[in-house]
C-alpha cells in the first residue's frame, strides 16, 4: 500500500514579514487506490463563522416546502404499483417517493425527517437508520421488479453549501448500471489491485491505516472509519468502510446502525467547528465481482469566503478536476478522534 506524497516549497518575499524571505509548504498526494492526485494547500482558511440558521429557515419557507409533512402527500409523486403497492415507502419519519427530476430510470428521494430544518447535532440515530433502511427497501423493490439493480447509489446534500436545493433533510437514491466516473475508476482499480495482490484493497487499506495510526479514527461495531489520504473537499473528508459488504443490498440493519453511530460523532464535530454542510455518498459494487467493499464518504462543504458567499468549487476543482484541501488529513484525524471516544 503506497501513500505517495510530493512535497513542494514556495519561496517568496512576504509583505506580512517586511518582505523577508518566507518558505510556504504544500503537498501533492496520490490516492493509494486510483492514483488520482489531490493537493494540500491554502492553509489560511477557517475558523468558520456562525450562520444564522433561523434566518435561513425563514427564507426557505417563503414558498413552502414540498418535503414538509403537510405538503408532501399533496405534491410528491407515487411509484407505480409494481414498485410499491402503497405508492411510497415509509419507515419511522422517513419516506421514499419517485424523484420528479430523475437521474436514471429508477430514481427516488428519501425525506429523512418530518422537521424542515434539523441542525447537524440534533439528528437522532433512529432518523438516519430509518432513512437508510427504507432507501435500501426501495432498492429491494426495484430488484424484485427488474431482477437486478446495478449500483444502488445513496447520496445526500445536507444544507445549501453542499448543493441542497431544499433545507429539508433528504437523500438522493437511484439504481443504475452507470455508476459515474469516480466509482467506476475505484472499481477498476480494486479489480487491478486484486489481480496484483490477491487481496481486497479495502482489507489492506484498513490494515495499513490501523498500523500507521495517522488517519485511522475508530471502529463503530463492524464499520471502520478513516480520514482519506486524499480528501475531495477543501475542508476534509471522512470515510466509513463496511468490511465484507459488496453491494448496497448486503448492508444489514446492524451495519446501518453502526454507520449511524459514527455519523452522529461526525455531526457533533461539525456543530463544534461551525461546519454546516456535507455531501454523503455510498460507494457500493453491483456484485461481489467488483471486488469492492461498500464504503461511504462524508465530505465537508462550506464557502471559501463566507462574506462573499464564494463557493468552495473553483477552477482547480471544476475544470482541472483536482481536489485541494486546506488541512492535512492527519490534522483532521487528530481533531475528529476525540468525538469517536465519547
Ligand atoms: Zn420542509
pLDDT in tens, 286-307: 999 999 999 999 999 999 888 8
In 165-309, at which residue ranges do the beta strands (DSSP E only) sit?
170-176, 216-220, 223-226, 237-241, 277-283, 295-301, 303-305
Please report the pLDDT score of residue 48 as a whole number.
84
Report the candidate in 168, 125, 138, 93 with the shortest Cα–Cα distance to residue 259: 125
308 pLDDT exceeds 90? no
Going from the C-alpha of 38 to that of each of 18, 32, 224, the distances in angstroms are 32, 11, 23
Spacing, Cα 104 to ligand 1 middle (Å): 25
Spacing, Cα 123 to ligand 1 middle (Å): 15
Residue ranges per structural domain of the chain: 5-40, 53-341
Instruction: Calculate mean pLDDT across residues 183-208.
Output: 98
Spacing, Cα 162 to ligand 1 middle (Å): 17
Spacing, Cα 78 to ligand 1 middle (Å): 18
Going from the C-alpha of 187 to that of each of 227, 232, 329, the distances in angstroms are 20, 18, 23
Spacing, Cα 159 to ligand 1 middle (Å): 12
Instruction: Calculate mean pLDDT across residues 181-195.
Output: 98
Please report the pLDDT score of residue 255 as a whole number.
98
Please report the pLDDT score of residue 37 as a whole number.
98
Share of the chain above pLDDT 70, in %: 99
Instruction: Calculate mean pLDDT across residues 51-56.
Output: 91
pLDDT in tens, 203-258: 999 999 999 999 999 999 999 999 999 999 999 999 999 999 999 999 999 999 99
What rounded mean pLDDT belongs to the chain?
96
Spacing, Cα 64 to ligand 1 middle (Å): 7
Burial code of 305-316, b = ≥16 C-beta within 10 A, e = fewer? eeeeeebbeeee
Spacing, Cα 163 to ligand 1 middle (Å): 16
Spacing, Cα 167 to ligand 1 middle (Å): 7
Please report the pLDDT score of residue 36 as a whole number.
97
Give the DSSP H or E segment for 38.
Answer: strand 37-40
Spacing, Cα 66 to ligand 1 middle (Å): 6
**106 burial via Cβ count (<10 Å: 0-12, 13-18, 19+):** buried
pLDDT in tens, 36-50: 999 999 877 678 889
68 pLDDT exceeds 80? yes
Spacing, Cα 53 to ligand 1 middle (Å): 14
163 pLDDT exceeds 80? yes
Spacing, Cα 260 to ligand 1 middle (Å): 22
The CATH homologous superfamily to which domain 53-341 belongs is: HIT-like (3.30.428.10)
- Lookup result for grid cell 464499520: 223
Report the candidate in 190, 217, 219, 220 with the shortest Cα–Cα distance to residue 202: 190
Report the candidate in 316, 340, 172, 164 with the shortest Cα–Cα distance to residue 261: 340
Spacing, Cα 217 to ligand 1 middle (Å): 34
Residues near ligand 1 ion, CB 5 Å cutoff: 65, 67-68, 116, 168
Spacing, Cα 119 to ligand 1 middle (Å): 13
Please report the pLDDT score of residue 149 as a whole number.
96
Instruction: Calculate mean pLDDT across residues 171-195.
Output: 98
Q: How confident is the model at residue 91 (pLDDT cuts 50, 70, 90)?
A: very high
Q: Lowest-confidence range among 4-13, 49-58, 96-105, 136-145?
A: 49-58
For the full predicted model, state whether its pTM sits above 0.85.
yes
Q: 8: left (phi > 0), else alpha (psi -120 to 50), else beta?
A: beta
Please report the pLDDT score of residue 305 as a whole number.
85
Spacing, Cα 139 to ligand 1 middle (Å): 24
Spacing, Cα 61 to ligand 1 middle (Å): 8
Spacing, Cα 68 to ligand 1 middle (Å): 4
Spacing, Cα 171 to ligand 1 middle (Å): 13
C-alpha cell at 137: 427497501
Please report the pLDDT score of residue 43 as a whole number.
74
Please report the pLDDT score of residue 290 as a whole number.
97
C-alpha cell at 24: 510556504
Amino acid at each position: 500500500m503506497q501513500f505517495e506524497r510530493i512535497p513542494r516549497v514556495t519561496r517568496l518575499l512576504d509583505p506580512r514579514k517586511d518582505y523577508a524571505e518566507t518558505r510556504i509548504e504544500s503537498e501533492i498526494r496520490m490516492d493509494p487506490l486510483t492514483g488520482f492526485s489531490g493537493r494540500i494547500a491554502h492553509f489560511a482558511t477557517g475558523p468558520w463563522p456562525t450562520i444564522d440558521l433561523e434566518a435561513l429557515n425563514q427564507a426557505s419557507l417563503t414558498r413552502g416546502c414540498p418535503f414538509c409533512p403537510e405538503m408532501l402527500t399533496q405534491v410528491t409523486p407515487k411509484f407505480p404499483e409494481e414498485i410499491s403497492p402503497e405508492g411510497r415507502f415509509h419507515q419511522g419519519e422517513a419516506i421514499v417517493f419517485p424523484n420528479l427530476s430523475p437521474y436514471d430510470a429508477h430514481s427516488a428521494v428519501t425525506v429523512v425527517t418530518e422537521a424542515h430544518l434539523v441542525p447537524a447535532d440534533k439528528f437522532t440515530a433512529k432518523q438516519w437508520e430509518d432513512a437508510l433502511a427504507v432507501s435500501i427497501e426501495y432498492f429491494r423493490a426495484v430488484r424484485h421488479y427488474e431482477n437486478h439493480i446495478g449500483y444502488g447509489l445513496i447520496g445526500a446534500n445536507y444544507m445549501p453549501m453542499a448543493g441542497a436545493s431544499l433545507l429539508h433533510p433528504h437523500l438522493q437514491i437511484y439504481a443504475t448500471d452507470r455508476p459515474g466516473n469516480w466509482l467506476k475508476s475505484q472499481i477498476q482499480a480494486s479489480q487491478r489491485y486484486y489481480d496484483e495482490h490477491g487481496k481486497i484493497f479495502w482489507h489492506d487499506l484498513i490494515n495499513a491505516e490501523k498500523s500507521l495510526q495517522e488517519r485511522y479514527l475508530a471502529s463503530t461495531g463492524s464499520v471502520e472509519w478513516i480520514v482519506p489520504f486524499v480528501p475531495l473537499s477543501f475542508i476534509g473528508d471522512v470515510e466509513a468502510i463496511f468490511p465484507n459488504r459488496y453491494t448496497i443490498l448486503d448492508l444489514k440493519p446492524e451495519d446501518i446502525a453502526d454507520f449511524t453511530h459514527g455519523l452522529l460523532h461526525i455531526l457533533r464535530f461539525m456543530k463544534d467547528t461551525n461546519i454546516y454542510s456535507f455531501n454523503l455518498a455510498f460507494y457500493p459494487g453491483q456484485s461481489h465481482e467488483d471486488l469492492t467493499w461498500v464504503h461511504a464518504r462524508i465530505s465537508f462543504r462550506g464557502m471559501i469566503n463566507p462574506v462573499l458567499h464564494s463557493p468552495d468549487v473553483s477552477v482547480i476543482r471544476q475544470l482541472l478536476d483536482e481536489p485541494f484541501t486546506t488541512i492535512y488529513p492527519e490534522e483532521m484525524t487528530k481533531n475528529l478522534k476525540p468525538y469517536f471516544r465519547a
